[in-house]
């Protein structure tokens, strides 16, 4: 078994170092083999935009005008109801993940404990350890296969994807039911498989998927339509709900409702309004409430709602590393995009990481001699004692460490300390850091008394866990980066605390290294993900202590400033490496010399208000352009509206032709419902059959086009165009001349391709990747 | 003295009931006698809009294009520096207010204590009480005169004004230095004068003024220009800083940096972006830090930075009323607008309130027999004992209660309990509620052990304090409503807790009535001001305990929903009664049938690109129209730009005429700096002399106009126009026809006048009030 892993490692290395020939590569987000850009100086054309602007065509306006004030009130109430549902469901899913991890770990523990008891006397501990190893690798294997083969978008934490979605980029399949299922199973497997990962990021993604599903009142995947919430079947409304779902996810993961709101605000929502804020807040609240309610029932204490979330770090009674992490992960991700693109390779890498994690942990623990006496306050119910004389099992034992971690996790064992390779009545403090779930390790680093950890232990632990976590993030498994970052930060924070205390032994205020661990954890996480406001609130809500709010804010701010000087945040790096046309908060500072004339796409394919069906079909079928929005003009080229590809598809499908309308007087008029039913998976043009006769018919677009698209004059500066586009969440912005003739069209990619580099304004290349 | 007050009361009543004849009324915000609307169905035309949109004319674009990336970085750094300064100064001002109140109270205490000691034996306590009364009325008099005669805008909490400012309405003099001075002195006087007010709202307003001042790098009032931050001399930048200042104010008042950010977000900023959020956050942080730092030095414990704000409620170890409050205050405010409009009347009303407050307090305490034994944990350093046999002093004593309140506040007295009319070793629990500063009363309601208060006491206290606070808010003194609301809520919350505990004596979890007091305080405040997210965070940060976050959120949400059903929030009521054209978050739901054509103002006064000076002067001098923005057209009526009155004024002042430019070749070209120097107090047109010869000259507007104003077609629906206008913070939106000819102009008042009433969409009347 050991050799198989070595073999795998060699193979991956060989892949990495030798196979430099070009070949079709696989895109980790979409999962189809394609040519992938090898650097971040490209902008992909394959991503489409969400349309945050309402299409106020005649049908829509008629519906709105028919609606009574009571109707609007009902809509408002159903928005609140949906947010409540999102909160409840997200809380339940978080609950499910939590319980499943515990159950699986408990089962494993049972099996392995019996096994150990059987073999301890006869000296065959290696068998037990191999059993553990097999169990753990099996988990990672299941998770890896699910992700790599069934739904590659479910890999990672999902936060970059949700961030893109909220920015207005349509990431395919990111909010589908299948993604949710793979994500949930995947994260259970990877946490149960002992990888250096957290389950918080996936919970946030799950919240987003739940929101997108619930708000539509149907499941396209399951082909079930509950005929509810049909009004919300458009990008505008759906995106609002997804931001509520993401907030609910944060709330469930960290017990931080306010932090959830701020997360959505800081990371995602570019288009914010008060009502939306309240709804998101409501969803967050319900989510924490539900989670705590069901967890309290599960723990047999119904009604005890004071458990604030899954990783309440407990109570306190009494940026440079982040940038390094991001840089390393950046190179690793580029490497992965280039060479580790086949699903089977991805699964193998995941298994390799699992094995190496175990090997490193074991080596560290084995050679550590940091044995601390067990205090009376740590009433160990169970401590695994492997005596030094059994060194014969070394070659296999490392595989077992992955198992031991979950042994400790299980409910039966409430202790943090593990006495591996130490005498009775002592515990191995290196094992305390390595042999726990990351959540528990973080907590012990925060709370153990001064002197519980040797500085050497902490230093080595920080170093190794740093590289392990960095390697793990980006594997083809569902995995979050929050908890590993906190763990690294807590370790070096505590290390700093110990060193400082040894220099200034007279000041008793700073004698508690646990405080340093908390601050270090905040700094490390801040340095990696670069959030400030929301992270402060999340940390405060998770620790349940407001006192440390100010120092946490301070270190987060410093971590962000220092980190930004060297490297972007981890999520931004991953977004950039996927060449996503992400719109930042403002146009690049030095872009005032660019005008709409320079940035727009031109010439523009326009349609006449009454257009020939053949022309429309030909334009839509042209795969080389693949436009999604078409200005509608009256001769001579005067703008009178804008129509989307999706609308034209529906019109063609229902054959809304002028001639047919004349011949069949009783024909059912096309309604808004028809567009909503087709949303969001509009059929491709190839699936719609248009006969040669029909090609000669005419289509009247007047009723369906948006008659008042936003326009800008051609001299408008780029920042001004950007501001309009971003503030209103547009998908298409028409550039018109001084007599209102269409001369260009600005879309997301035209704005996203300018960015401020080291040498001033740079332009990204556009590529069909 | 007593009779003088009675006389004053009669006079005010007489004013109120008899003087129904029409006469010029005074506007409490602007302070000039004017016809004031008597209901909220009017929209004032006197308020102008702030321009959140950059005027991207040629001068501006040239400047931006000349600027290097390093220049933009310097700008960014100076934004951070300014935010730091705002935080520091706001913290210092809050500190000053706090210390001054304590000093004044301490001084009064000293004087009165000596007086009492002198007269206690000889039985002349009435003299002491009269002394107190004089001192207290003197404070209110000073504060009232300052506000009523010097700067009426400094009245009240200032939050409605800041809210309007952040919404984009230019409230005259709201961010001037004079306002700040009057506000600070006023709030010190009214708190020291024993009114039922808090000092938190004024701190928020002060933060806004500080921000507006610091960010401009000069003081127009003091005529000092530091030649700094000239880039920020425009509405866009200034408003961003004011929102940072408001957040810093909240942060200083409550020790709640995150709450401050959310306050700015929830109450004010309609145009939000991430960088701004961070800067505001930074300012909030620095503010709390500064406050705590200097307070800790003041208290002789430098470095002890764990004191989270002025009203840290301490720690917990273990919606309808709001609407009623608002309704009563609504009627009271209407009454005040109609009848209490002269400064001297306003001062008298303030004195009357001070006297009535004292009288009611005294009566309540005098007839209360809720004497509780002093526990050993309350080590009273001083307790004022007025024995029942000295009832002869009754007629004067009530004036003294105002003084006693501040006696208790002083640092020397650290106890909460007062033994008025009780035996030695006992304290009067009614006096504990009435005879403390509101902050201290709130804290004692939260923290006193069960059984400290009699339900009867609490009920009577709630009832009387409710009416007193309601009457006090809106007086012509600087005063906040936060703390009185918390106090009312805490009292009835505790009352509910006691009653519930008596019904369910078996459940020990809910036995602590202090918890109910906290929840009640949150509910009452939420019912009055209708904030949810920010208030939760503020309460949590102020109490320093996250555990109660969830129940607080829940009651705030319920208080908001219940309250909104009956009446708007207090601040919104006051904004509406001032007929301010306030833009809400969205257009009224049922307004889709309105289009730009119906809402726009038309015909529009346009200028030609090269226009005769005489024409411009005539248009600007026309007081009947008083337009502020003028589309610039080329014949035939084709839109080519937009120019503001303020710009034209500067052009006229500098005589930028085509003929002069030709004759004086070496003439200095007008620069952006000239516009910035004139900002924000542009001279009126009347002050600019234009000779008859000059009237015949021509002005070339090309360089100065905004060449790319936002436009909409005339068929655009109102919600769409509203969204564009609100999201971009526009001041003028041009309506153009299909060949780009100007046909109308939409401004703030055109959008603000539609609102959803009980019978569908209603249109407010426009009035020059």
Same domain? For B690 and B561 the reply is: no
pLDDT of residue A318: 34
Domain assignment present for B82: yes
Window A:484-543, CB contacts with B under 8 Å: 532-533, 536-537, 540-541
pLDDT of residue A410: 30
Helices (H) and strands (E) counted in chain B, each on its own, are 29, 20
Domain assignment present for A720: yes
Q: Is some CB atom of chain A closer than 8 A to the CB atom of B760?
A: yes
In a 3-state reduction of DSSP, which class is residue B44?
Answer: strand
3-state secondary structure labels for all residues of B294-356: HHHHHCCCCCCCCCCCCCCCCCCCCCHHHHHHHHHHHHHHHHHHHHCCCHHHHHHHHHHHHHH
pLDDT of residue A647: 92
Q: Is some CB atom of chain B closer than 8 A to the CB atom of A119?
A: no
Q: Is some CB atom of chain B closer than 8 A to the CB atom of A354?
A: no
**What's the CA gap between A742 and A602, in Å, rounded?**
10
Residues facing B711 on adjacent strands: B734
ipTM, two decimals: 0.82
Least confident residue range of B92-96, B171-175, B428-432: B428-432
Same domain? For B55 and B129 the reply is: yes
Contact between A205 and A161 under an 8 Å Cβ cutoff? The reply is yes
Write down the mean pLDDT value for chain A. 76
DSSP string, A356-370: HHHHHHHHHHHH---
pLDDT of residue B278: 58
Per cent of chain B over pLDDT 90 is 15
pLDDT band at A376 (very low <50, low <70, confident <90, very high): very low
Tens digits of residue pLDDT in B517-561 = 888 888 888 888 888 778 888 888 777 777 677 677 777 878 888
pLDDT of residue B507: 53
Domain assignment present for A615: yes
Same domain? For B231 and B336 the reply is: no
3-state secondary structure labels for all residues of A417-450: CECCCCCCCEEEHHHHHHCCCHHHHHHHHHHCCC
The verdict on a CB contact (< 8 Å) between A61 and B275 is: no
Tens digits of residue pLDDT in B564-600 = 888 888 988 888 888 888 888 788 888 888 999 999 9
Residue the block writes with tokens 């024409």: B615
pLDDT of residue B94: 85
The verdict on a CB contact (< 8 Å) between B306 and A547 is: yes
pLDDT band at A11 (very low <50, low <70, confident <90, very high): very low
Kindly tell me if the per-residue pLDDT of B733 is higher than 90.
yes
Tens digits of residue pLDDT in B144-185 = 999 999 999 998 889 999 989 988 898 888 999 999 999 999
The verdict on a CB contact (< 8 Å) between A272 and B272 is: yes
pLDDT band at A402 (very low <50, low <70, confident <90, very high): very low
Report yes or no on whether pTM surpasses 0.90. Answer: no
Give mean pLDDT, residues A674-693: 88
Contact between B179 and B173 under an 8 Å Cβ cutoff? The reply is yes
Q: Which of A345, A431, A397, A268 is nearest to A12 (CA)?
A: A345
Least confident residue range of B76-80, B497-501, B502-506: B502-506
Structurally, chain B folds into a number of domains equal to 3
Instruction: Name the closest residue on chain A to residue B640, using Cα atoms.
Output: A738
Give mean pLDDT, residues B481-505: 81
Same domain? For B548 and B616 the reply is: no
Tens digits of residue pLDDT in A464-507 = 888 888 888 888 888 888 888 888 888 888 888 787 777 765 55
What is the number of other CB atoms lying within 10 angstroms of the CB of residue B84? 18
Least confident residue range of A640-654, A716-730, B349-363: B349-363
Give mean pLDDT, residues B647-661: 85
pLDDT of residue A409: 32
Residue B212 sits at φ, ψ, to 5 deg, of -65, -35
Q: Which of A466, B376, B374, A636 is nearest to B385 (CA)?
A: B374
Q: Which of A502, A383, A375 is nearest to A449 (CA)?
A: A375
A709: its two tokens: 């698209």
Write down the mean pLDDT value for chain B. 76
Q: Which of B587, B601, B558, B581 is nearest to B714 (CA)?
A: B601
Closest-CA distance of chain B to residue A401, Å? 37
Domain assignment present for B612: yes
For residue B755, what is the enclosing H or E element?
strand B754-757
The verdict on a CB contact (< 8 Å) between B54 and A720 is: yes
Kindly tell me if the per-residue pLDDT of B487 is higher than 60.
yes
Same domain? For B527 and B611 the reply is: no
3-state secondary structure labels for all residues of B668-732: CCCCHHHHHHHCCCCCCHHHCCCCHHHHCCEEECCCCCECCCCEEECCCEHHHHHHHHHHHCCCE
Least confident residue range of A319-333, B260-274, B691-705: B260-274
Sign of CA dihedral B200, B201, B204, B210: negative
Contact between A152 and A31 under an 8 Å Cβ cutoff? The reply is yes
Give mean pLDDT, residues A587-591: 85
Kindly tell me if the per-residue pLDDT of A539 is higher than 90.
no
Pairing assessment for the beta strands A25-26 and A33-34 based on DSSP bridges: antiparallel
Domain assignment present for A488: no
Same domain? For B233 and B135 the reply is: yes
For residue A114, what is the enclosing H or E element?
helix A69-119
pLDDT of residue B665: 57
Contact between A583 and A269 under an 8 Å Cβ cutoff? The reply is no
Who among B586, B639, B738 is closest to A273 (CB)? B586
Terminal C-alpha separation, chain B? 40
Contact between B252 and B91 under an 8 Å Cβ cutoff? The reply is yes
Who among A541, A546, A717 is closest to B544 (CB)? A546
Domain assignment present for B584: no
Q: Which of B258, B268, B256, B255 is nearest to B211 (CA)?
A: B268
The verdict on a CB contact (< 8 Å) between A738 and B638 is: yes
Between vectors from CA B512 to CA B508 and to CA B514, what angle results, nearest 5°? 165
Same domain? For B634 and B550 the reply is: no
CB contacts of B545 in chain A (<8 Å) are 546
Best mutation target among B552, B569, B589 (most A Cβ atoms within 10 Å) is: B589
Q: Which of A698, A518, A704, A652 is nearest to A58 (CA)?
A: A704
Quickly list H helices, B146-234: 159-167, 177-192, 200-216
pLDDT of residue A610: 92
Q: Which residue has the higher pLDDT, A435 or A344?
A: A344
Closest-CA distance of chain B to residue A279, Å? 10
pLDDT of residue B589: 83
Q: Is some CB atom of chain B closer than 8 A to the CB atom of A110?
A: no
Q: Is some CB atom of chain B closer than 8 A to the CB atom of A724?
A: yes
In a 3-state reduction of DSSP, which class is residue A718?
Answer: helix
Domain assignment present for A686: yes
What residues have CB less than 8 Å from B267, skipping those under 6 apart?
B159, B162, B163, B166, B246, B531, B534, B571
Same domain? For B532 and B609 the reply is: no
B714: its two tokens: 């005339």
B113: its two tokens: 């204590």
The parent domain of residue B57 ranges over 48-298
Q: Is some CB atom of chain A closer than 8 A to the CB atom of B243?
A: no
Same domain? For B285 and B392 the reply is: no
CATH number, domain containing residue A604? 3.10.580.10
Tens digits of residue pLDDT in A280-304 = 666 665 666 666 666 667 767 655 4
Terminal C-alpha separation, chain A? 39
Contact between B397 and B102 under an 8 Å Cβ cutoff? The reply is no
Buried b (16+ CB within 10 A) or exposed e, A632-654: bbeeebbbbbbbbbbbbbbbbbb
Domain assignment present for A553: no
**What's the CA gap between A335 and B138, in Å, rounded?**
77
Same domain? For B273 and B394 the reply is: no
């Amino acid at each position: 078994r050991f050799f198989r892993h070595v073999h795998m490692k060699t193979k991956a290395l060989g892949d990495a170092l030798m196979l430099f020939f070009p070949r079709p590569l696989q895109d980790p987000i979409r999962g189809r083999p394609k040519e992938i850009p090898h650097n971040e100086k490209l902008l992909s054309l394959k991503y489409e935009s969400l349309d945050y602007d309402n299409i106020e065509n005649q049908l829509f306006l008629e519906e709105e005008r028919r609606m009574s004030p009571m109707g609007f009130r009902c809509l408002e109430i159903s928005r609140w109801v949906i947010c409540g549902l999102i909160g409840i469901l997200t809380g339940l899913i978080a609950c499910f993940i939590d319980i499943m991890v515990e159950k699986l770990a408990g089962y494993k523990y049972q099996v392995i404990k019996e096994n150990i008891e059987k073999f301890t006397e006869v000296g065959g501990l290696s068998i037990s350890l191999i059993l553990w190893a097999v169990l753990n690798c099996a988990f990672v294997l299941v998770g890896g296969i699910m992700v790599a083969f069934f739904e590659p978008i479910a890999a990672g934490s999902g936060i970059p994807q949700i961030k893109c979605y909220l920015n207005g980029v349509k990431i395919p399949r990111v909010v589908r039911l299948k993604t949710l299922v793979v994500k949930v199973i995947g994260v259970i497997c990877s946490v149960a498989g002992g990888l250096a990962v957290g389950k918080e990021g996936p919970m946030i993604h799950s919240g987003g998927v739940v929101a997108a599903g619930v708000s539509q009142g149907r499941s396209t995947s399951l082909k079930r339509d509950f005929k509810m919430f049909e009004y919300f079947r458009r990008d505008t409304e759906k995106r609002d709900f997804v931001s509520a779902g993401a907030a609910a996810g944060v709330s469930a993961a960290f017990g931080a409702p306010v932090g959830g709101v701020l997360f959505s605000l800081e990371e995602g929502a570019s288009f914010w309004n008060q009502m939306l804020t309240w709804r998101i807040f409501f969803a967050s609240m319900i989510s924490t409430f539900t989670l705590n309610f069901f967890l309290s029932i599960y723990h047999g204490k119904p009604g005890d709602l004071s458990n604030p979330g899954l990783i309440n770090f407990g109570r306190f009674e009494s940026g440079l590393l982040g940038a390094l992490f991001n840089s390393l992960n950046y190179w690793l991700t580029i490497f992965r995009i280039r060479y580790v693109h086949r699903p089977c390779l991805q699964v193998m890498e995941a298994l390799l990481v699992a094995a190496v994690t175990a090997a490193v942990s074991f080596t560290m623990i084995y050679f550590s001699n940091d044995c601390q006496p067990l205090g009376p306050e740590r009433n160990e119910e169970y401590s695994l004692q492997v005596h030094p004389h059994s060194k014969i099992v070394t070659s296999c034992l490392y595989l077992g460490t992955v198992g031991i971690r979950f042994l400790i996790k299980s409910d039966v064992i409430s202790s943090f300390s593990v006495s591996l390779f130490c005498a009775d009545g002592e515990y191995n403090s290196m094992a305390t850091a390595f042999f726990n779930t990351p959540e528990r390790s973080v907590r012990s680093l925060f709370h153990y008394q001064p002197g519980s950890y040797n500085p050497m232990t902490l230093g080595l632990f920080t170093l190794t866990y740093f590289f392990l976590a960095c390697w793990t993030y980006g594997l083809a498994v569902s995995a979050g980066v929050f908890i590993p970052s906190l763990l690294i930060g807590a370790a070096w924070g505590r290390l700093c605390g110990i060193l400082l205390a040894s220099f200034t032994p007279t000041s008793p205020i700073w004698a508690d290294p646990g405080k340093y661990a908390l601050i270090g954890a905040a700094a490390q996480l801040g340095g990696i993900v670069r959030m400030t406001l929301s992270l402060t609130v999340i940390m405060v809500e998770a620790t349940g202590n407001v006192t440390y709010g100010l120092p946490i804010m301070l270190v987060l701010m410093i971590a962000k400033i220092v980190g930004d000087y060297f490297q972007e945040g981890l999520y931004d790096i991953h977004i950039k490496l996927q060449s996503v046309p992400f719109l930042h908060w403002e146009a690049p500072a030095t872009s005032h010399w660019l005008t709409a004339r320079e940035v727009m796409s031109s010439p523009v394919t326009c349609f006449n208000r009454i257009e020939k069906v053949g022309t429309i079909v030909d334009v839509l079928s042209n795969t080389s352009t693949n436009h999604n929005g078409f200005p509608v003009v009256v001769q001579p080229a005067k703008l009178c509206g804008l129509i989307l590809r999706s609308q034209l598809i529906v019109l063609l499908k229902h054959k809304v032709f002028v001639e047919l309308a004349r011949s069949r007087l009783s024909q059912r008029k096309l309604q808004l419902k028809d567009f909503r039913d087709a949303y969001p998976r509009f059929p491709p043009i190839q699936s719609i059959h248009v006969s040669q006769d029909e090609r000669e018919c005419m289509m009247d677009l007047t009723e369906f086009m948006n008659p008042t698209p936003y326009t800008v004059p051609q001299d408008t500066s780029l920042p001004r165009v950007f501001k309009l586009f971003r503030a209103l969440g547009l998908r298409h912005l028409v550039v018109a001349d001084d007599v209102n003739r269409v001369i260009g069209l600005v879309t997301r990619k035209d704005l996203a391709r300018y960015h401020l580099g080291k040498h001033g304004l740079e332009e990204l290349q556009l590529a069909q990747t």
